[in-house]
Structure 1
Amino acid sequence: MIVSACGGEEGGPWSGAEDTASKALAETSAGLAQPSPAFIPQPTGPCPEFQDGTLTFRPAGIPARAVRIWMSDAARTLDGPLVFYWHGTGSQPTEATTGIGTTQIEAIKAQGGIVAAPTRDPAAGTFPWFYVSSTSRDDDFRVADEVLACAIQKIGINVSHIHSMGMSAGGLNTTQMSYRRSGYIASVATYSGGRTSTIPTQDSSNKFAAMIFHGGPSDQVVINFQTASQNYYNDLKSKSQFAMLCNHGKGHTIPTDARAAVWQFLQAHPFGTVPSPYAGGLPNTMPSYCQR
């Protein structure tokens, strides 16, 4: 899973408090902070009918993109979370079953939630995602916007629980998404991802939380992921955002022992959760190698 990274300029279609977004916000669980309607995207193309499997999304102005969706019929009656998963170089969307875990995916589905793992556009180049391949194209996040907008339109989601995860190139892309879509991202988890350059922030008022994993000194493929992860952690802490840094010590791998803890972390950090419930100390269910 080889990776590189670079920043770029913000882009993508946005609208104000349109009917669909307002309805979704109104139906979100009471008591939770919510993204501003200005940051909730509207569909820009025809939305597919949501079902478990691979669906095609057609955002205006960019090529159509296949996205692997995991969901159940519970999504038609419950407004659950939406978790994006970005795979590593040489991998594919089904990596989500390893990165998130099948048990956790089933838990998300039972809550009426959706896991969405986009396929790559070959035009991205050597690496699967445009910003990771040192381009300034916002296509991948415009696809994510379309998935979110269509999910709201077709079945409804809990907009306080929009999260992102990824490994390697996908971890770097999750880092990019956390800043570039901070208008709606609640919290994220990165496996061997991190920050290698300055990334523009969409909504600096949203202090999203992050659980940041790396594999120690041997976590190196093109770049040093221990350093990149430390840089991400340091930047968030400098902005008074809650972050956990977790050195699992196993090199460039997904720490499968931590998947239950990651899902617990995301659930504990919906949009606008400040201070973090972990600010006073990490739960004993968190990996022993994590620090805050």
Structure 2
Amino acid sequence: MKVIGIVLTCACLAPPTHPATQLSNRTSDTPNSASVSTGASVSKREWTVDGVVRTVIVCLPPADNRTAETPLVFCWHGHGGTAVHSRATAAFEVAWPEAIVVYPQGLKTASPLVDPEGKKSGWQTTAGNDGDRDIKLYDAMVDSLRMEYKLDGRHTYSTGHSNGGFFSYLLWQTRGATLAAIGPVAAAYLKPTADIKPLPVIHVAGKDDPLVKFSWQERTFVNVRAADACTSEGKPWATEGGLTATLYESSKGAPLVTVIHEGGHEFPKGATALITRFFKEHAQPAVTTPVPK
């Protein structure tokens, strides 16, 4: 199937914020033991964006459980990672079996910290890099999946580890209108954008992270609190194993939750449960149509 410049005409869907992109979309079954235990249907799908085939793992809840309010969760792997490993580590379809969970596969991407020659897979972290190939992939998937499964567009979320967390922050900056919340893990948001739209954020950070320094992530908390008009003092929100979560309330309905652990650059056990809980608490406001007088 080829679609050129998907346009969403249903009033309940958020309008595309990107130029027309040529893409194709193919599906193949990917059996997995997790799909049996959760009832999810797992498939490998392909979107061809700007002539490049992009592969994605999509986990669908049973058809009888899907509605317009079915959540759509994107989980982006770290630099050098894979969609398969991301799914095995995060397993959001297990924590949230009612959601459509998407695990995209990155392309070779340069990283100044760990891969300056760009030999490993990853995601762009700045708008305009690499022709915005990953933002275009996100656009294509959001438009296609919302239309295919008749989603209302109010329950779309982005999370990811390391480079995938950085990309989630980039999506907030460039596609914030399409998102209900984000959940970066071991990432940073160091160059705040003045006109960024307030958005609920849950951020997971390790105090002993040797790559994305904890001090960078603390600066991120300051930047997010400023963008979301949050309180400077937090209050206990939850604990999960060795994770301690603190809530910073927002006057704009966009709270920050910081999840701190003693470990390093990792996706810690318990992070999926806390991110899922946070996502469940946040959706975009419903769009109401005025009744003609």
TM-score by length of 1: 0.70
Partner of 1:48: 26
Partner of 1:181: 175
Question: 1: CA distance between counterparts of 2:126 and 2:120?
Answer: 5
The CA RMSD over aligned residues, in Å, is 3.1
Does residue 147 in structure 1 map to residue 141 in structure 2?
yes
After superposition, where does 1:1-292 map in structure 2 within 5 Å?
18=7, 20-25=8-13, 35=14, 37=15, 39=17, 44-48=22-26, 52-59=42-49, 61-74=50-63, 77-79=66-68, 80-101=70-91, 104-106=92-94, 108-109=96-97, 111=98, 113-122=99-108, 125-126=118-119, 128-132=121-125, 136-137=129-130, 138-198=132-192, 204=196, 206-216=197-207, 218-221=208-211, 223-224=212-213, 226-239=214-227, 240=229, 241-272=254-285
What are structure 1's unaligned runs of at least 5 residues?
Answer: 1-12, 26-34, 274-292
Q: Could you give the per-residue CA deviations for residues 105-132 of structure 1, whole angstroms, max 9, x where no partner exists?
A: 13544x2x31111111125524533424
Which protein has the larger Cα radius of gyration, Structure 1 or Structure 2?
2
Quick one: structure 1 residues 115 and 40, their matched pair in 2 at CA, closer, same or farther if it must change by over 3 Å?
farther
Question: 2: CA distance between counterparts of 1:55 and 1:236?
Answer: 34
Partner of 1:9: none
Look up the SS of the partner of 1:182 in the other structure.
helix
- Of structures 1 and 2, the one with the larger relative CO (CA 8 A, separation 6+) is 1
Look up the SS of the partner of 2:122 in the other structure.
coil
The 8 Å contact of residues 98 and 256 in structure 1, kept in 2 or not, is answered as no
Question: 1: CA distance between counterparts of 2:78 and 2:149?
Answer: 29
How many residues are matched? Answer: 237
What are structure 2's unaligned runs of at least 5 residues?
Answer: 29-40, 111-117, 230-253, 287-293
Question: 1: CA distance between counterparts of 2:16 and 2:108?
Answer: 31
Higher strand share: 2
TM-score by length of 2: 0.70
Question: 2: CA distance between counterparts of 1:142 and 1:261?
Answer: 29
Identity %: 17
Look up the SS of the partner of 1:263 in the other structure.
helix
Quick one: structure 1 residues 43 and 232, their matched pair in 2 at CA, closer, same or farther if it must change by over 3 Å?
same
Quick one: structure 1 residues 95 and 126, their matched pair in 2 at CA, closer, same or farther if it must change by over 3 Å?
same
Question: 2: CA distance between counterparts of 1:251 and 1:122?
Answer: 25
The 8 Å contact of residues 14 and 40 in structure 1, kept in 2 or not, is answered as no
The 8 Å contact of residues 161 and 186 in structure 2, kept in 1 or not, is answered as yes
Quick one: structure 1 residues 212 and 43, their matched pair in 2 at CA, closer, same or farther if it must change by over 3 Å?
same
The 8 Å contact of residues 179 and 200 in structure 1, kept in 2 or not, is answered as no
The 8 Å contact of residues 42 and 146 in structure 1, kept in 2 or not, is answered as no
Question: 2: CA distance between counterparts of 1:75 and 1:127?
Answer: 39
Structure 1: which amino acid aligns with 2:201? A
The 8 Å contact of residues 84 and 164 in structure 1, kept in 2 or not, is answered as yes
Quick one: structure 1 residues 38 and 56, their matched pair in 2 at CA, closer, same or farther if it must change by over 3 Å?
closer
Q: Could you give the per-residue CA deviations for residues 68-89 of structure 1, whole angstroms, max 9, x where no partner exists?
A: 1111332784231111111112
Q: Could you give the per-residue CA deviations for residues 217-264 of structure 1, whole angstroms, max 9, x where no partner exists?
A: x2022x41x123222221121121421222211111212123222101
